[in-house]
Amino acid sequence: MVSEDRGGRRRVKLADVAAEAGVHTATASRALSPRDDIVAAVSREKRDRVLAAAQRLGYRPNRQGRALRTGHSQVLGLLVPRISDTVLSTFYEGMLAEAQGSGYSVVVANTADNPEQREGFIRELVEHGVDGIIYTDAHLGEPPPTDHGVPVLPAYRFSEPPGGVVVDDEAGGALVARHLIEAGHEHIALLAGFPYASSTTGRSRGFLTELERLGLDVERVPVEHGGLSAAEGRTIAERLLAAPEPLTAVFAVDDHLALGVLSAVHRAGLTPGRDIAVVGYNDLPVARELPVPMSSVAVPLDILGARAARSLLGALRGDAPVSELVAPELRVRESSTRDPADGSSAGHTAVPGAEDSVRPARWT
């Protein structure tokens, strides 16, 4: 018999599926488990019968009931600084794919890059029963989140002490510095973005350190901090372009900033690549579709998300959280070379954004 919910609609229970398939309720539960090790305890013939019965009856698992029985909701949380961020949407896709492969789903919350809001969302997600949380909005110098009884791990950005699954942003900044110096640039500006984020500060530090190593006087490099929007990039670039000493190159630590720089360059009657080199970071899809395709540092964010999910799932099994660096890759295009490349990295690359680009972190 199929029971009804409060609205009078037919609600299929696990017992209904078991009766339809002619098996014990416990067998039906194991056959429908998201965990492969539990499903393996049921014969293929019985599992096929249970799955067919569940499909015929339109059965949907009761997550609350399962959580009460197992102590696990099979739900993970992801906290992002801006839910509209294209970069972190790709991170989410990688995390979700890895989570779903282990029978988990992922819910997302927007912290507005505010540590107090993050702490509130952590409490709220834990109250709703998530099994673990990844947060991507860490601020430098802040302590780790308080103990909430579930794993809460950083990724993409880190605080103190350094850790988590992150991009080797210092290496990414160094790639840009080498590219610009090899192209003969000496009058270079840096749009450094947030001063509190390990991602943007790492890119800036790697860039300036490599410039200095290659012999450039970094005291003469204008360094502009601020947000990451295109509007801010345009405003800063317009001011820099109006300075007495002309610039020959700009590195913006985020593609949105770099798009604003390109807007300012266009308004000044200049041509990217010919009159001034512009390089961004994150290699958004729009970068290669611009009238003058934009050079940018590419990051395998889907791999980053997958590795973060894998670390969190390991922590749920009792494993120690991992710290890993994912290597970026510079993709040189017409915005930073007078001899336009075909979109490839033209020799200015790090390890490609693939699974073997992930390595254990060595923090210094």
Please indicate whether residue 238 or residue 148 has the higher confidence score (pLDDT).
238
| Contact status, residue 115 vs residue 146, Cβ threshold 8 Å | no
Please indicate whether residue 358 or residue 154 has the higher confidence score (pLDDT).
154
Which residues are CB-neighbours of 101 under 8 A, at least 6 positions away? none
- What's the pLDDT score for residue 298? 94
- What's the pLDDT score for residue 57? 84
The percent of residues above 90 in pLDDT, for the chain, comes to: 55
- The tens digit of pLDDT for each residue in 45-100 reads 888 898 898 888 887 765 555 544 444 568 999 999 988 888 888 999 999 999 98
3-state SS class at 184? coil
- What's the pLDDT score for residue 346? 42
CA distances from 65 to 4, 14, 44, 54, 133 (A): 17, 11, 25, 17, 21
Distance CA 160, CA 364 (A): 12
The percent of residues above 70 in pLDDT, for the chain, comes to: 85
Residue from 294, 295, 285 nearest 347 by CA: 295
pTM metric for this prediction: 0.76
Q: Which residue do the tokens 């009159």 mark?
A: 275
Question: φ and ψ at 360, to 5 degrees?
Answer: -60, 140
CA angle 111, 146, 134 (to 5 degrees): 45
- The tens digit of pLDDT for each residue in 313-359 reads 999 988 888 888 889 999 999 999 865 344 433 434 443 433 444 45
Q: Which residue do the tokens 């990844």 mark?
A: 134
Taking the CA of residue 130 as centre, how many other CA atoms within 13 Å lie in the half-sphere pointing to its CB? 26
- The tens digit of pLDDT for each residue in 192-212 reads 999 999 999 999 999 999 999
Inform me whether the pLDDT recorded for 263 exceeds 80: yes
How confident is residue 6, by pLDDT bands cut at 50, 70 and 90? very low
| Contact status, residue 175 vs residue 297, Cβ threshold 8 Å | yes
- What's the pLDDT score for residue 12? 78
Distance CA 304, CA 359 (A): 11
How confident is residue 41, by pLDDT bands cut at 50, 70 and 90? confident
Give the ranges where the chain is alpha helix by DSSP (H): 14-21, 25-31, 36-39, 44-57, 63-70, 86-101, 115-127, 169-182, 198-213, 230-241, 255-267, 301-316
What does the pLDDT average to over 279-294? 93
CA distances from 27 to 11, 37, 68 (A): 20, 14, 18
82-91, 214-223, 246-255: least confident range: 82-91
**Distance between first and last Cα of the chain:** 64
Distance CA 23, CA 26 (A): 8
- Tell me the longest C-alpha to C-alpha distance in the chain: 84
Give the ranges where 214-254 is alpha helix by DSSP (H): 230-241
Inform me whether the pLDDT recorded for 300 exceeds 60: yes
